[in-house]
Amino acid sequence: MKSNNFLIVAALSILITGFSSCQNDFLEEDPQSFLSPTNFYKTDADAYAALVSVYNGLRPIYSQDMTFVGDLAGEQTNPGTGSNTDRTDIDNFTVQSGNLVLAGNWNNNYVVINRANTVIERVPAIDMPAANKDLYIAEAHFLRALAYFNLVREFGGVPLRLKETTELEGLDIARSSVDEVYAVIIDDLKLAEAKLLPVQPATGVGRATKGAASSLLAYVYLTKKDWTNAAAKAQEVITNKGTYGYGLYATPADVWKIANENKVEHIFSIQFQSGPEGYGSAYSQFYLSRTANVIQNNGISGFAINLVEDKFWRSFAAADTRRDASILSSFTDPKTSKYYEYPTKGLAELSIFKYFDSQAFARSNNNNNYPILRYADVLLIKAEALNELNGPTTDAYDAINTIRKRAGAGMTELSGLTKEQFRAAILQERSWEFCFESKRYFDLIRTEQLIPIMTAAGKNPQPKNLLFPIPQREIDLNNKIEPSDQNPGY
């Protein structure tokens, strides 16, 4: 008989600590007391506090673990010298079911799912304005869909937990099929799309919108290779970009300015805020090489983890400004005026630069959000889907060339490609545009290019690496998932 102690503790901790009172900014929480579900859900403020807890559950997912899966399992980055075994195994495709990065992803996504289930089940009974009620529930559906989208792409079929965890019985749930999980994701996003606001008010900046639901739905359809719906949904977002306030920033560097977060191009991002409250992100220090410490406020030490591969850095065209907006390959020490440049002038490592914050409040307390969906995603989803339907149409070329022209004045426009050549061009364009945004591994899986591209990069991926293993802890503790239910090859 398997022990359920871990699931019991996890479930109870979610119930006890998941919901705290909040201020106007949904990032800010001020825990006042511990309230049981039976006496908590009474007012609009209680419902909003429950919704805040769902959003806050995204931070652990995207603080590190999801980025390791999406980036290290591709050819753009490496874990860096002295990185732990769990990260190195992901990079080398030697990952096992006891990997703590995978366990963190599994558990943290289910925390979001359970908190979303709580909002979906509890809020309808609260006496509160109907508009707020509909909105909170729609946002919970969006966030649940996002968490399941993470899980199904990483692990395949997973247990579908669609009810709030309120007691210890019923915690054991078998794996559902991939199609069953996607059916829930699509239903959640359609419900969210119907009820979410086109634009959140100033007090709700960073929360999900109708355009975010439509954009994620387009991405889901693309992943399922439902080209017709992917193209149609992406076009719907493009058609309504004026209503939603979407567009592209003038330059790639503009995308990553902290002052530009939650504006124009940023459709949905994980919210971080540097300051004494401790809601900041760790990306700036986590990714920065130790040599480049001097360019940060107070010279805060970099961790030199998830470093950029030389071959990827060299893959950018000379005219492509995305390279220097995304990767730190040169800098001047502000105190000594000494100039460093990769690879011959004192800089041996290439750092991710998209999430640099020179004025971090403290170590691992940066002001950088983490992007989940950008308007550039929508354009390239449209281009890819149209090509798969009818080859490289004029609209498909327009979409990808819009991205290329923004990348640099000297970037050539694509033309005259076959369907297969355009497919390869889209995959490469996504590599440059979305590098270090946890998309590369999933793009390689979706396009069936993981094994050839990673083999060419000197790795040894096997067919089993098209999915990650179900965490061993889940197999040990869930009576309805047996060792024989593990993904093939693990």
The answer, yes or no, to whether residue 213 has pLDDT greater than 90, is yes
| Distance in angstroms (rounded) separating the CA atoms of residues 258 and 160 | 37
Flag whether the pTM goes above 0.85. Answer: yes
Report the C-alpha gap between 275 and 49 in whole angstroms: 21
Distances (CA, A) of 150 to 140, 190, 240, 490: 15, 18, 27, 20
For 383-402, the pLDDT digits (tens) are 999 999 999 999 999 999 99
CB 213 within 8 A of CB 224: no
CA distance 373 to 266: 7
For residue 53, what pLDDT is reported?
Answer: 96
Residue 370: closest CA among 253, 249, 237, 267:
267
Type of residue numbered 474: E
**Furthest C-alpha separation in the chain:** 66
| Residue length of the chain | 490
Residue with tokens 């919901």: 19
Mean pLDDT of the chain: 90
Q: Which fold has domain 208-271+374-457?
A: 1.25.40
**17-31, 171-185, 206-220, 370-384 — which is least confidently predicted?**
17-31
Buried b (16+ CB within 10 A) or exposed e, 321-335: bbbebbbbbebebee
Residue span(s) of the chain under CATH 1.25.40.900 come to 208-271+374-457
Residue 340 vs residues 322, 334, 358: alpha-carbon distances, Å: 20, 11, 17
End-to-end, the C-alpha distance of the chain in Å comes to: 22
Q: 84: burial class by Cβ within 10 Å (0-12, 13-18, 19+)?
A: exposed
CB 64 within 8 A of CB 286: yes
Host H or E run for residue 99 = none
pLDDT of residue 35: 43
Domain(s) labelled CATH 1.25.40.390 in the chain stretch across 5-195+468-485
Question: pLDDT tens, 223-265?
Answer: 999 999 999 999 999 999 999 999 999 999 999 999 999 999 9
Pick among 1.25.40.390, 3.40.50.2020, 3.40.50.1980, 2.70.70.10: CATH of 5-195+468-485: 1.25.40.390
Range in 144-148, 292-296, 371-375 the model is least confident about? 292-296
Dist CA 235 CA 51 (whole Å): 30
- Counting beta carbons within 10 angstroms of the beta carbon of residue 391, is it exposed (0 to 12), middle (13 to 18) or buried (19 or more)? middle
Which of 73-82, 168-177, 236-245 has the weakest average pLDDT?
A: 168-177
